[in-house]
Amino acid sequence: MLYMLDTNICIYLAKRRPASLLSRFQTLEQGEAVMSAVTYAELRAGIEMQPANRAHDEKILSLIVSRVPIVSFEEEASVAYGFLRAAIPNRRRDALDRLIAAHALSLGATLVTNNEADFRDYPGLLVENWVAAA
């Protein structure tokens, strides 16, 4: 099974909590968890907005990326974005969340997030919350 980690899950991993999330993550084989290039962009923005912590945050992000490869946003993800945008045209959501949802959908990946409400009603998108399961 392929899992795409949402930005908030990567932040939890960086903070090494909750323990149950770390335990669940450690059960995965290499390559079972990926990160969207969109998520990586959000994490990079967070580092840029807190320059005092840059060295530490860069190190932590490098460790995460060594276990969770970054997946490029390809044509299939763009097609999935168009599908999701048309499926729920009047629903206002964060554009980055919609891109992440489309990316997961295009890969057939289950999106792992602690913000389930942000991804509710996207047709075909599988979502798991490893924090709530804690």
Q: To 5 degrees, how large is the angle CA 78–CA 95–CA 69?
A: 60
In the structure, what pLDDT confidence band is assigned to residue 91 with cuts at 50, 70 and 90? confident
* Residue 20 structure tokens: 């149950």
**Global pTM?**
0.94
Q: For residue 22, what are the domain limits?
A: 3-128
pLDDT at 71: 98
Q: Which residue ranges make up the annotated binding site for Mg(2+)?
A: 6, 97
CATH of the domain at 79: 3.40.50.1010
Domain assignment present for residue 134? The answer is no
Domain assignment present for residue 133? The answer is no
Q: To 5 degrees, how large is the angle CA 32–CA 71–CA 82?
A: 110
pLDDT at 58: 95
Domain assignment present for residue 112? The answer is yes
Positive or negative: CA dihedral 71, 68, 62, 15: positive
Find the range with the poorest average confidence among 60-64, 88-92, 93-97: 88-92
| Count of the separate structural domains present in the chain | 1
Q: Which residue ranges make up the annotated binding site?
A: 6, 97
Domain assignment present for residue 37? The answer is yes
Mean pLDDT computed over 31-44? 98
Q: Is 7 helix (H, G, I), strand (E, B) or coil?
A: helix
